[in-house]
Structure 1
Amino acid sequence: MDTVVDELSLSLSNVVKWIAIGAIVFGGIVPYIPQYKEIKRTEDTEGFSLFVCLTLLIANTLRIFFWFGKQYELPLLIQSIIMNITMLAMVHLCVNIRNKNQIIRSKDKVFSDFDLQYFWAWTDFISYIDFLIVFHIACGIVMYLFIDVPLFVELVGFLAVLFEAMLGVPQLKKNYQNKSTLGMSVQMVLMWTTGDIFKTIYFLVRQAPPQFWICGVLQILIDIGILTQVYWYRNSSGVRAKKQDMPD
């Protein structure tokens, strides 16, 4: 009887473990599904900051190279690869819609122009791929040269989580500039918050490198800031609308 109970307990433990791994690997991309659908439905990218994609692409690329210097859990590595693919899909959609919405076709802005004024605002998707190829090559060369220097490896890990922790900052700034959260998927931010809480707990339980859980805590704080913007700007819009409706 004890043997059966032990086997059931072990089986249940394995199921929970695989569910947790699946959540870590694929949970990160789930928040972007409602934002992707929102952009595709409205054909409007104004409410979404494309720099969110840049931040995650840099963070996850650095995390991938960090793995070669300090091999953390494989699910976290797979998560980074899948996240990069997801961010490229978001960039592809936004670039296509921006080009489609142009009434008067302006001059193409491409990566090979090396014009900082239009950095990450290029008009063709290939330019974003070109930038990432150059970034990967540069990271690969530097990592190859200094992979035996523990301090450098730890610095790469720190930069990876620092960029990831700053994920919500471009969206926070975009909302502030627009004085609105219209066009931004609130579902995306709520999923960010839920995922970041789960992820931070996972990092602590699994004793991941300190950089990971520090990143998680910072992300949760920024998520709360964006949700505060949602509440504030929606209430402010409601007050303005009531004042406009009031008779003189």
Structure 2
Amino acid sequence: MDAEVVLQGEDGEGSWTLLSLSASLLMVFGGALPYVPQYQEIQRSSNTEGFSTRVCLVLLIANILRIFFWIGKQFELTLLLQSVVMILTMFAMLHLCCTVHSTNRVSTKQHRLTDWDLHYFWRWSAFEDYLLFCFGFTVASAVVTLLLLDSAMFVEALGSLAVMFEAMLGVPQLLQNLHNRSTKGMSVKMVLLWTAGDVFKTTYFVMNESPAQFWVCGSVQIFTDVAILLQVLLYSQDPWARPR
């Protein structure tokens, strides 16, 4: 009888470990999954109208800052790996957008980071300019973090700043949809996938007792997802249709 109880306990522990591992893997790669169909759609149509590259700006800044937050306050390694995967995903999206814009460009004039023209900030012609900006931002963040790493107030403020940027993730897309009066390239299914991911992410933060900044960020993202979902229902004649 005792042996049976022990075996049941071991089976339960093994199942929980497998479930925990699956949840961690989903956290690491789940945030990047919604961008796979969008990447494929842009690649197929050679049209970036339905995607705002400012989403990349928001996510790159948020995840670079989150990495430095982790240095000051070690939370789950899963969330650190998630940031690395998301940064690579955003670079892949930017590279594709630059390639498409280069192919479709009518004018030969290019806009570069070294022009120091704020009107074309984050609208540069070359992918290398985005890499250079992120490198400069990372170096500056590293210097400030190393100088103030012993300050608990700075570390908490850094974490709040990181998740604030992430919480604003959907805002560029929301504003672009509002400006264009269109959600071309989006569908209810796509937005529901985003929402499900943010709900799962927020639940993960709460269950794993992650720093409060994370679940507050997740809650804001869920509300933004719902707003974008309403836009898709309002602007699209057939919101459930596959984007064309």
TM score, norm. by length of structure 1: 0.92
Question: Which of 23, 26, 47 is equivalent to 1:23?
Answer: 26
Contact 2:186–2:232 (CA<8 Å) still a contact in 1?
A: no
Secondary structure of the structure 1 residue equivalent to 2:51:
coil
User: Matched residues in 2 for 1:54 and 1:191: separation?
Assistant: 21
User: Matched residues in 2 for 1:46 and 1:64: separation?
Assistant: 31
Identity of aligned residues (%): 50
Question: Which of 189, 192, 212 is equivalent to 1:190?
Answer: 192
What is the CA-CA distance between 1:236 and the residue it aligns to?
10
4+ runs deviating over 4 angstroms: none
User: Matched residues in 2 for 1:102 and 1:234: separation?
Assistant: 28
Aligned-pair Cα RMSD in Å: 1.3
Deviation per CA, 1:71-108, whole angstroms, max 9, x where unpaired?
01000000000100000000000011011011232x21
Within-5 A mapping of 1:151-170: 151-170=153-172
Q: Does 1:57 align with 2:64?
A: no
Q: Which residue is 1:242 aligned to?
A: none
Deviation per CA, 1:122-154, whole angstroms, max 9, x where unpaired?
000000000001000000000001000111110
Contact 1:67–1:77 (CA<8 Å) still a contact in 2?
A: yes
Deviation per CA, 1:42-88, whole angstroms, max 9, x where unpaired?
10001211000100000000000000100010000000001000000
**Structure 1: which amino acid aligns with 2:84?**
I
Q: Does 1:42 align with 2:45?
A: yes
**Structure 1: which amino acid aligns with 2:152?**
P
What is the CA-CA distance between 1:16 and the residue it aligns to?
0.4
What is the CA-CA distance between 1:113 and the residue it aligns to?
1.4
Question: Which of 128, 131, 135 is equivalent to 1:129?
Answer: 131
Question: Which of 93, 96, 107 is equivalent to 1:93?
Answer: 96
What is the CA-CA distance between 1:188 and the residue it aligns to?
3.7
Deviation per CA, 1:198-244, whole angstroms, max 9, x where unpaired?
0101111110000000000000000000000000112599xxxxxxx
What is the CA-CA distance between 1:183 and the residue it aligns to?
2.1
Contact 2:187–2:232 (CA<8 Å) still a contact in 1?
A: no
Q: How many aligned residue pairs are there?
A: 236
**Structure 1: which amino acid aligns with 2:6?**
T
User: Matched residues in 2 for 1:63 and 1:115: separation?
Assistant: 28
Gaps (5+ residues) in structure 1?
Answer: 238-248
Contact 2:195–2:222 (CA<8 Å) still a contact in 1?
A: yes
What is the CA-CA distance between 1:185 and the residue it aligns to?
5.4
Contact 2:52–2:176 (CA<8 Å) still a contact in 1?
A: yes
User: Matched residues in 2 for 1:57 and 1:214: separation?
Assistant: 19
Question: Which of 112, 115, 121 is equivalent to 1:113?
Answer: 115
Contact 1:165–1:215 (CA<8 Å) still a contact in 2?
A: yes
Q: Which residue is 1:13 aligned to?
A: 16
Q: Which residue is 2:76 aligned to?
A: 73
User: Matched residues in 2 for 1:59 and 1:189: separation?
Assistant: 21
TM score, norm. by length of structure 2: 0.94
User: Matched residues in 2 for 1:127 and 1:221: separation?
Assistant: 33
